[in-house]
Structure formats: C-alpha cells, structure tokens
Amino acid sequence: MVIKVAISGALGRMGGTVGRIVNEAQDLALVGGIDVKKGNLFGTEVVPATEIDAFLKEKKPDVLIDFSVAAAAVENIKAAARNNVALVVGTTGFSPVQRKEIESAVEGSVPAVISSNFSVGVNIFWKLVGEAARQLGDYDIEVTEAHHRYKKDAPSGTAKTILEILDHELGEREKVYGRVGATERKDEIGVHVIRGGDIVGDHSVLFAGNFECIEVSHRAYDRAVFAQGALRAARWIVGREPRIYTMQDVLGL
C-alpha cells in the first residue's frame, strides 16, 4: 500500500525536509502541500491555506503532516477532520484555547498523532527525564534548550513537554525563566532559552545535588531526524481509530 501524503507548512524548513524524504520513499507518495502562498515542492503543487478544503477534496491524501505555525495549524487540522484525512502534527506553540479547538475537531472524526517532537531519541529522552525525576526529586533542577534564530516560540514545545513530565513526577513547581538580580534558589525549576545560528535543537535537564550533578540531554544534528519520526507516525496512523495519539503510542513506550 502506498500512502498518499500532503504537507502543510510545505515551503518551510521542516516541510521541505519531510517532502524530500517522502519523495525518496517507495511506500509514500507526495500529492502536494499547503502554505501561505502558492509554490512547488518536488514537482507537486503547493496551494494557499485558503484553498485547503478544495485541495484535500481533489488530492485525497491519506495523511496530512503539519509543520506550520499554531494559528494556521488549527485551521489545517479542522480542514483535515472535515475531509476525513488522518493527521500528523508537529507544530508547537498552541495556546490552551487552541488545544481545545484541536481536540474538539479531531476526537471522533480522524486519527491524529500530535507531538511536540517526533524524534525517536527525544521520546526516549523524555522517558529518561521522568525516571530521573522520580529518583532525584530532592535535587535542584534546571532545564536548558537551544534552537536556531528563526524559532518562533519559546520555550520550545519539547521543553514544555519536559516541564509537564517534571510536574507530573514531582508535583507542580514554580518555573523561573532566566535569572537576574537576587538568585537564591527556592523550590523551583529554572528554564533557560538560547536562540542563535542554525542550531537544530538541543535540550538538557540538570539535576544538581550536593557533591554531584546528573545531566540528561539530547542534541539533534539534522531536521531529518524529526521528519523521519513524523513519517514513521504517518505510516502508523492511517486506519487507526479516530482520536488523538502521541509519538509514545507510535513507539509503544
């Protein structure tokens, strides 16, 4: 079975990477894309987001992979649900209201894998962070993330997932975003954001105790790692029961 793939955010960095890998795969077929303007992606048409419903009706993709921006992604997800197209969503930066809109659109309509990071390594990293938190809950904790200069949201979606994992394991703690002035620690988690150059994605969690520190970290060297994970999710999601899944479901973690 050849899976027909459409990409929203097709002309962006991640969209282009996903498109290239789809174009090279034997079991996937790129049928086109959606972006803010018309264009071309590896010989397939990219249409403006305003034309997404007509595009989905004509091309009939099996799955729509979304790496766009939050506001656009919400509308893309709604359109996919209206047209019975499965979803893989890697866009981050959704507000609580937008998350509720997404849940309302997807539940009972189409299957969707939604994750702040599709890297297999990052999903293992999240598991390790949770285990470390269970064992080292009395240590001081600092979270650091770094991305390229064009990253639109901060902290990253991956860092926000780290914080959710820590809160789940330890109970909710105050988050301190950067420090200036008086810095004596309380029962808090420090969060530090770096933006510069072409950094693909670095994340680390430092557990600092008396006389020792343990650091759990992940570094991505190429966007292909996220694209490969998204396509693994695309292969997995087609034909599933309509509801929201995570990359942990895809990997059986």
* Sequential DSSP letters for the chain: -PEEEEEESTTSHHHHHHHHHHHH-SSEEEEEEEESS-EEETTEEEEEGGGHHHHHHHH--SEEEE-S-HHHHHHHHHHHHHTT-EEEE------HHHHHHHHHHHTTT--EEE-S---HHHHHHHHHHHHHHHH-TTSEEEEEEEE-TT--SSS-HHHHHHHHHHHHHH---EEEES--S-----SEEEEEEEE-TT--EEEEEEEEETTEEEEEEEEES-THHHHHHHHHHHHHHTT--SSEE-HHHHHT-
To the query of whether residue 218 is one of the catalytic residues in this protein, the response is: no
Marked catalytic residue, from 147, 160, 203, 218: 147
- The one catalytic residue in 151, 160, 203, 218 is 151
Give the CA radius of gyration of the chain.
19
What is the C-alpha to C-alpha distance for residues 226 and 230, in angstroms, rounded to an integer?
A: 6
Residue 60 bears catalytic tag = no
CA distance 39 to 51: 13
43 CB-near residues (< 8 Å, 6+ apart): none
Point out which residues pair with 238 in neighbouring strands: none
Active site residue ranges: 147, 151
